[in-house]
Amino acid sequence: MLLNLNDPDSIVTWWTVLPDRHDAYLAHKLRVSPEFAPAINEARRRIAVRPELANLLPQAMQRRRDEEALQAERTAHLTSLRLRHMELAAA
C-alpha cells in the first residue's frame, strides 16, 4: 500500500490497516514534518467523526496489550539465557 501524506483519503485508508502503529507514526510526522499537518489533521478529523473508524484505535491497542500479556505469560518460565537465545534467533 502506498501512502501519500498530502492526501487525507490515502492517510485514512492506510491508517485503518494498523491503527495503533499508524497513529503513532502520524503523531511523529506531525512533529518532524509540519508540511504534512493539513492533510494529517484532516485525516484525523475524518477518522474521529466516523464511529466505525474511531473505534478501531482502542480495539487495536487492546489487541496489542493482550498479545503482549500472552507473550509475557509464555516467557515467564523461561530462563534469561533461553530468552537471550530466542532474541538472537529472531534477529
pLDDT for 39: 98
pLDDT in tens, the chain (91 residues): 899 999 999 999 999 999 989 999 999 999 999 999 999 999 999 999 999 998 998 888 888 888 888 888 877 777 778 878 888 998 7
pTM over 0.95: no
**CA-CA distances (angstroms) from residue 24 to 20, 30, 85?**
7, 10, 30
Distance CA 60, CA 76 (A): 24
Closest C-alpha to 47, from 64, 34, 60:
60
Distance CA 73, CA 81 (A): 17
Would you kindly state where each structural domain of the chain is located, as residue ranges?
A: 8-90
